[in-house]
Structure 1
Amino acid sequence: MMAAKAIRPARLLNRTAHIVPGQLRVTELTFEVPLNHSNPSVGSLKLFGRQVTKHDTPIVPRADSEQEEFYRKPYLVYLEGGPGFGNKEPQDHQLTKTALDKGYTLLLLDYRGTGLSTPINQPHLATLGGPQEQANYLKHFRADSIVRDAEAVRLCLTSGYPESHKKWSIFGQSYGGFVALTYLSQFPQGLREVFLTGGLAPVKRTAEEVYTALYKKVIQRNEAYYRKFPEDVERVRQVAKYLQEKSPLLPGGGEFTVERLLGIGLCLGMNGGLDLIHSNILKMTMDLDQFGFITRAAGAAFEGLIPFDTNPIYAVLHESIYTNGPDRASDWAAHRVGKALSESEPGLSWLSPVGKALSADTTKPLYFSGEMVYPSHFDCYPELKDMRETAEILAKCDDWPQLYDLDQLSRNEVPVYAASYVEDMYVDADFARETAKAVKGTKVFETNVMYHGALRAKTEEVLRQLFKLRDDTLD
């Protein structure tokens, strides 16, 4: 069992409200929290969030006390996917309308290290010392620290609320669901209800087991891609051969390598992902046919698809989200599993020497990877290059704190409502079912006609099903 942790309320540094189109009242909030909640003396971080409520203009102006009560509604906190991403503007967020219509105050809180919450970037890391000091700092940016931040903010924002409003609801998309399950493990007393979309984390599985399962789905999505675009077997090889021979740079300064090209497979599991990849491959091959090089326009379009430079946490801490406790170093699990698989799967042969893969049977497709992070990524992304040694230390780290308390989850009393996708390329459906059984009181809407990004692509349908799980009765 994970030990109970006392959390101090966050310190509110600034609160500024604005009215934005769409009848929204958006309050920008800045908080201060410790870098290490267990040792507040070692430094602090700033957290940024946006609190969203409905704005109206009453016929008869409200008294101050009535105005305060009007805006004091139960909180719904959105937990973004990733790891490593901040939140969109409230007026562009898929959850805003439903949350406000359901009577919540929506809180979009950027995780530490993301968005406007002391974002991780290489120049700042360099001021902390060498690779070991940087790794020690980054260890404080996983879900166990994120939920301490959230609980500290809850204690701050609800300090004057009635007891009925002190608990809040959380909504986790993808990695946000992983964070939500850590929240359920550590601070269930702060939660009223939990919503998950594509976020039933593999709480019982190791990184090796996770990637072994996910590669199977990646291969299936590659097969679907090449069935739809058989002409791209030759095109992808044409682009890869050019990259191998010319070693060009992308507009942002990073090397355009074969490994980076095939990393576009991160998009394979999203709605419209096949077409997005095809459009980029088509543009690059048209460039090569007409000019003999890849134009800036094509390079910039490609470069914007993979977020490692702008959201480096995604790369440097990705495998650590699967290390639940000590004695479990990830040790580049995605690369190790993929390289072993490449011996029997020709499409992944580029995970061994690239030149050998390109000289092999050119009638066979080269498979794109999924959301796997490889050591080679730290050679071709400008923001990651100087983090290579830091990433190696984190890959070998075997003293990670526990993320999930399976005993606590087995006796959970907080209602959990989850949307799970059979064809999910990022969260294995079988492991998701295993987790749903492990978390007491979980209700699941499972479908094979949506992908991982359905919250964005089919917002109304997903939210309708989730709230039906909450509001309808099962006989």
Structure 2
Amino acid sequence: MAGADGIDHREHLIEVPLVWGAQDPRRITVFARELVRHGREDAPHLVWFQGGPGNRAQRPESVSGWLDAALDEHRVVLLDQRGTGRSTPADAQSLAGLDASEQAEYLRHFRADSIVADAEAVREVLGVKTWWALGQSFGGFILTRYLTTAPASLAGVMITAGLPPLVTEDGRTASADDVYAETYPLTARRNDEFFARYPGDREVCGLVARHLADVEERLPTGERLTPERFQKLGIGLGTASDFDALHYALEDPFTVAGGTRRLKAHSLAQWGVRLSMAQNPLYAVMHETIYGRPGLPPTAWAAHRVRNRFEVFATPPQELGDRFCFVGEHMFPWQFEQDPALVPLRGAADLLAHVEDWGELYDLEALAGNRVPVAAAMYTPDMFVPFASQQRTAALIDGLRPVVSAEHHHDGIRADGKALYARLKEALG
């Protein structure tokens, strides 16, 4: 489809095996949107891997930021990772005919190894021998897998805020527990920054949490809003783009109805949109599975367990008062009881949390012998993928060129994409 903005949109829907490398008849489709700027029809391809897991590729309503810069040099492929967007869906609706064990078995095939195999199928359909790749957050996890299994397909790799945790400071294989032991303190620090900027909000949040423990308030989707779910609004603190928006969502939330203090319908509506996983349930289901590796115990709701090591997170939010603290990119088992979009997947999510035989995603020997040009942007304040952990992984990938920034948060590619893209390309030489 030719666009008035000088960019052609080419859509590709490709059938792939559900289970790569096995005699399994099940098939799914993956969707990729190829964008080509007029006059650049012969440019090399670049494939984009979205953050997540479980998020579809971006839908650019206007071309700007990194995408605008990339289209000057590349034909860009925006891949809807399996289970997302226009690829075969993996959600409560599509999995409704399966029991929990069947759902869990199906979803075991939605990790980075399968996504890389899908990408290879897309590359072959496009007739491309090698392509460039850019991955944000979980997209960087995917590209680290790509480097270990199909490096010959990669002309160059750029990663933003997404080098996966491979080893701990003392050299052990990094587990989900290790990840959350690092992210909870970072989350507490980011809370302090937020409440220092908006000091009145901490009192407001403490009052709301106490109110939710005592008074039944319902979200527009019908379920009761609990103090612990209100605490999940903090996921936006990990980004620069949502930092101030959270403050505006907390403005003046109370009203008086019939002589009783209640939360405003407007506030509940805003919070409901922010808290619902209806648009990306796969994110909730698969989030901790990305840390599953051989030799490690099951993830077993690591974020839920590890929070008990930190007093401010172990304390029920309604008891925190003026010490109120939001949580961040942490998934909890009670979300599958409270969010209507997740309730039908609660059994599968729990089974996935107790898988003991995850396959290996990363070949450390292959990474040590890497010959693909790689540049990785790492942000020292990153609340989601800790800088120290990314540094350790960067040291394991031969030839990786780090691009370190103290200015950006996890969404640096969204906040300053054009400049960041230029820095990554410059680092690659």
Q: TM-score, normalised by structure 2?
A: 0.94
How far the C-alpha of 1:32 sits from its partner, in A, is 0.4
Alignment partner of 2:117 out of 142, 148, 156: 148
* Match of residue 398 from structure 1: 356
1:287-343 CA-to-partner distances (Å, cap 9, x unmatched) read: 88997323333222222224522101111110111112354310111111101222x
Relative to 1, partners in 2 of residues 1:83 and 1:286: Cα closer, same or farther, differing over 3 Å? Answer: farther
* Match of residue 101 from structure 1: 72
SS at match of 2:341: helix
How far apart in 1 are the matches of 2:2 and 2:230?
43
Relative to 1, partners in 2 of residues 1:466 and 1:241: Cα closer, same or farther, differing over 3 Å? Answer: same
Aligned CA-pair RMSD: 1.9
Relative to 1, partners in 2 of residues 1:426 and 1:155: Cα closer, same or farther, differing over 3 Å? Answer: same
- Counterpart residue identity of residue 28, structure 1: E
- Decide whether the 8 Å contact of 2:137 with 2:160 is kept in 1: yes
* Match of residue 410 from structure 2: 452
SS at match of 2:294: coil
* Match of residue 124 from structure 1: 94
Structure 1 or 2, whichever has the larger Rg, is 1
SS at match of 1:31: strand
How far apart in 1 are the matches of 2:275 and 2:422?
31
Alignment partner of 1:197 out of 160, 170, 183: 160
1:429 equivalent to 2:387? Answer yes
- Decide whether the 8 Å contact of 2:254 with 2:261 is kept in 1: no
Relative to 1, partners in 2 of residues 1:427 and 1:287: Cα closer, same or farther, differing over 3 Å? Answer: farther
- Decide whether the 8 Å contact of 1:416 with 1:442 is kept in 2: yes
How far apart in 1 are the matches of 2:357 and 2:87?
26
1:388 equivalent to 2:358? Answer no
1:22 equivalent to 2:5? Answer yes
SS at match of 1:268: helix
How far apart in 2 are the matches of 1:150 and 1:460?
25
1:172 equivalent to 2:143? Answer no
How far the C-alpha of 1:377 sits from its partner, in A, is 0.9
* Match of residue 235 from structure 1: 204
- Aligned residues: percent identity? 34
1:28-52 CA-to-partner distances (Å, cap 9, x unmatched) read: 1111001001225331111111111
How far apart in 2 are the matches of 1:287 and 1:187?
61
Alignment partner of 1:48 out of 6, 11, 31: 31
- Decide whether the 8 Å contact of 2:50 with 2:136 is kept in 1: yes
- Decide whether the 8 Å contact of 1:87 with 1:108 is kept in 2: yes
How far the C-alpha of 1:247 sits from its partner, in A, is 2.8
How far apart in 1 are the matches of 2:258 and 2:200?
15
- Counterpart residue identity of residue 279, structure 2: T
- Decide whether the 8 Å contact of 1:238 with 1:285 is kept in 2: no
How far apart in 1 are the matches of 2:32 and 2:289?
25
- Decide whether the 8 Å contact of 1:325 with 1:403 is kept in 2: no
In the TM superposition, 1:412-423 aligns within 5 A as: 412-423=370-381
* Match of residue 7 from structure 1: none
- Decide whether the 8 Å contact of 1:76 with 1:106 is kept in 2: yes
How far apart in 1 are the matches of 2:287 and 2:364?
22
* Match of residue 279 from structure 1: 248
Alignment partner of 1:184 out of 112, 132, 147: 147
- Decide whether the 8 Å contact of 2:212 with 2:225 is kept in 1: yes
Which 5+ residue runs of structure 2 have no aligned equivalent? Answer: 168-173
SS at match of 1:140: coil
- Decide whether the 8 Å contact of 2:133 with 2:158 is kept in 1: yes
- Counterpart residue identity of residue 273, structure 2: G
- Decide whether the 8 Å contact of 1:203 with 1:324 is kept in 2: no
Alignment partner of 1:110 out of 76, 80, 83: 80
| Number of residue equivalences | 422
- Decide whether the 8 Å contact of 1:255 with 1:381 is kept in 2: no
In the TM superposition, 1:15-414 aligns within 5 A as: 18-39=1-22, 41-55=24-38, 71-92=41-62, 94-102=65-73, 104-127=74-97, 129-158=98-127, 166-204=129-167, 205-285=174-254, 292-306=261-275, 308-325=277-294, 327-342=296-311, 347-350=312-315, 354=316, 358-359=318-319, 362=321, 364-414=322-372
- Counterpart residue identity of residue 453, structure 1: D
1:431-468 CA-to-partner distances (Å, cap 9, x unmatched) read: 11111110111001101111110111112221121111
How far apart in 1 are the matches of 2:24 and 2:227?
45
Q: TM-score, normalised by structure 1?
A: 0.85
Relative to 1, partners in 2 of residues 1:359 and 1:195: Cα closer, same or farther, differing over 3 Å? Answer: closer
* Match of residue 3 from structure 1: none
- Counterpart residue identity of residue 92, structure 2: Q
How far apart in 1 are the matches of 2:309 and 2:346?
23
- Decide whether the 8 Å contact of 2:50 with 2:58 is kept in 1: no
How far apart in 2 are the matches of 1:118 and 1:374?
26
1:99-155 CA-to-partner distances (Å, cap 9, x unmatched) read: 1212x110001000111111221022121x211111000101111110010011112
- Counterpart residue identity of residue 43, structure 1: R
